[in-house]
Chains A and B, each alone.
Chain A
Amino acid sequence: DGGITQSPKYLFRKEGQNVTLSCEQNLNHDAMYWYRQDPGQGLRLIYYSQIVNDFQKGDIAEGYSVSREKKESFPLTVTSAQKNPTAFYLCASSILSTSTEAFFGQGTRLTVV
């Protein structure tokens, strides 16, 4: 099935630890995005990548890092520098060349314990 797969669905982390969230797409989309959602809020952009080996900061990049070594994959690392990492994280992709319509994965719920 074509789509965007995020793993894991639920993740628990101790304070001070880095953790990496996985996002894979088999839609052959050029661009990929990471958004964060806090309870009762809309989504905010963390990082995005329009092409392999290139990425840009979004509105709330502090405390996060990404890589884009393959077109299909855009992992997000939540570092210990992120002051309030407990949130719902959503990955998206879009083809860009013909449309900027975004499609989303199922999300990863991260809890710091």
Chain B
Amino acid sequence: GIQVEQSPPDLILQEGANSTLRCNFSDSVNNLQWFHQNPWGQLINLFYIPSGTKQNGRLSATTVATERYSLLYISSSQTTDSGVYFCAVERGGSGNTGKLIFGQGTTLQVKP
């Protein structure tokens, strides 16, 4: 099956710093999503980005499907950005079932 690898596994930043999180996947994908898991466990949708670039405030994401990776950029980080960031993909050719395969996550801690 498709493999999803996220890096780095852990990241500690000072408030105001920028960061880049990476997601590599081993096969073609129909769908790629980035999520932020808050301290209460809920998954918050950040981006639905099977290809291209999107921006939402201080966050942006780029997926290069042909090279099988996606990047999540966080600028001017805030303490509320802390938590776990997941990349999840839907394998290409699966007939649009919406089934997601998750990476192991990047745990971000932003210090004041």
Contacts and interface: CB of A to CB of B under 8 A. Distances in A.
Q: B-side binding surface: helix, strand, loop or mixed?
A: strand
A100 B86 contact: no
For chain B, which range describes its interface: under 10, 10 to 19, 20 to 34, or 35 or more residues? 20 to 34
B11 to A, nearest CB: 15
Interface stretch (A16-24, A40-48, A67-75, A77-85): A40-48
Contact of B105 (A42, A90, A102): A42
A92 B102 CA distance: 14
A99 interface: yes
Among A42, A50, A99: residue with most chain B CB under 10 A: A42
A107 B41 contact: yes
Contact of A90 (B4, B33, B43, B99): B43
A43 B4 CA distance: 12
Among B33, B100, B102: residue with most chain A CB under 10 A: B100
B102 A48 contact: no
Contact of B41 (A33, A40, A88, A99): A88
A23 to B, nearest CB: 14
